[in-house]
A and B are shown apart, each in its own frame.
Chain A
């Protein structure tokens, strides 16, 4: 790609991304009452989306070969258990991540 083509490609990507971000706010401007259905979606979508994001992060884990997803399973379990126990987000994330790094760098190389 030439410099101009790189510029155009990035501009197009920015425009498309902005469209996805702004569309809900354009369709439902504030100050007007939301349709009940949209209001309902605004309440129930987020918990489902958090689930989607967790699966999205783990989408490339291979459960049928390699390390069989064992480091991921252990680290996610540690995050959940420590979070239920301490309810300290940073503590859970740090312990899970450090354990995961240790596992993939030493045990499951």
Chain B
């Protein structure tokens, strides 16, 4: 625990951890108030997808409590939908294991992205990792958490609420699915819409001018076009793993261009912008939406990849 304190001491969250410790109840409630509105889109998506899942399970002749249990312990939508057919086919645990590894492989990327953000969250960390889902990762990764909100509790509430929505949906579908009479066709688009807004939010964080348009959004382009190309080659059921390989390879090859030297400058003094769009290099963090929020030293590197990372680096103790 000593290590976490030391790691946090240089960043805004550290102060809060201390404040939260003196009034734990208030810190928790404040984090919940901040977290809840951000989970509303997930609520809409999870409840309705969960209902669909519950209905499917029951239609396969499985008991209504089974979707609830699997919703809680598997908690990966795509794998659970596959389970509805796996559980009514012949017994083959090895194949089930392999399928789950492949479907879950994207969690590896979520883990790598959250290593810094989830560090120092104490006992909550196990639960945060256990409940990593597409939506929870997207919300927790992109959330801008104010200085006076405890990070650990914020992540915890988002994770817990999301999981509750999913379980509640599965329960509703399992027990009351047959009662739904109005057409909900198309409601699953809410998840698509959520990822589009999160993608756009990331896009605008990374720079929204036309200058350096490509340079500022290399990661986004790699993700979109890598996925599209693999989708065309491998088809909708098998393109995730190849896409992950392509993303990894592309970002590794582009590292000399993308990896900014802000690591050598842990105090956060403004490093120069690679995009050339910065006409005011002395201007500190003014061009950078999140940099100024997260960078404790206020120096605000103006670079693409620097944004979320000023805080991230500080969490790593600046010892990189």
Give per-residue flags for A1-22: 1 if the beta carbon is below 8 A from chain B beta carbons, else 0.
Answer: 1100110111011111111111
Given contacts A10-B83, A22-B111, A46-B142, 5 further A-B contacts (CB under 8 A): A17-B107, A44-B219, A76-B192, A89-B198, A96-B196
A16 in contact with B101 (CB, 8 Å)? yes
A103 in contact with B186 (CB, 8 Å)? yes
Which of A12, A21, A40, A48 sits near B130, CB closer than 8 Å?
A: A21
Within 8 Å CB of A58, what residues of B? Answer: 192
Inter-chain CA distance A45–B223, complex, in Å, is 9
Within 8 Å CB of A59, what residues of B? Answer: 231, 236, 239
Within 8 Å CB of B186, what residues of A? Answer: 71, 97, 100-101, 103-105
Asked whether any CB of chain A lies closer than 8 Å to the CB of B201, the reply is: yes
Inter-chain CA distance A92–B198, complex, in Å, is 11
Taking CB as reference atom, which chain A residue is nearest B100? A16
Q: How many residues of A contact B (CB 8 A)?
A: 71
The B interface, classified by DSSP as helix, strand, loop or mixed, is helix
Known contacts: A40-B255, A56-B227. The answer to whether A50 contacts B97 by CB under 8 A is: no
B192 in contact with A9 (CB, 8 Å)? no
B263 in contact with A36 (CB, 8 Å)? yes
Within 8 Å CB of A57, what residues of B? Answer: 191-192, 195
Name A residues whose Cβ lies closer than 8 Å to a Cβ of B.
Answer: 1-2, 5-6, 8-10, 12-25, 28, 30-31, 33-34, 36-60, 71-72, 75-76, 79-80, 83-84, 87, 89-90, 92-93, 96-97, 100-101, 103-105
B177 to chain A, nearest CB (A): 19
Which of A19, A38, A84 sits near B112, CB closer than 8 Å?
A: A38
Which of B86, B227, B319 sits near A52, CB closer than 8 Å?
A: B227
A1 in contact with B224 (CB, 8 Å)? no
Query: Which of B145-153, B269-277, B304-312 contacts its partner?
Result: B304-312
Inter-chain CA distance A14–B114, complex, in Å, is 21
Which of B74, B75, B119, B309 sits near A43, CB closer than 8 Å?
A: B309
Known contacts: A8-B93, A39-B320. The answer to whether A49 contacts B200 by CB under 8 A is: no
Asked whether any CB of chain A lies closer than 8 Å to the CB of B123, the reply is: no
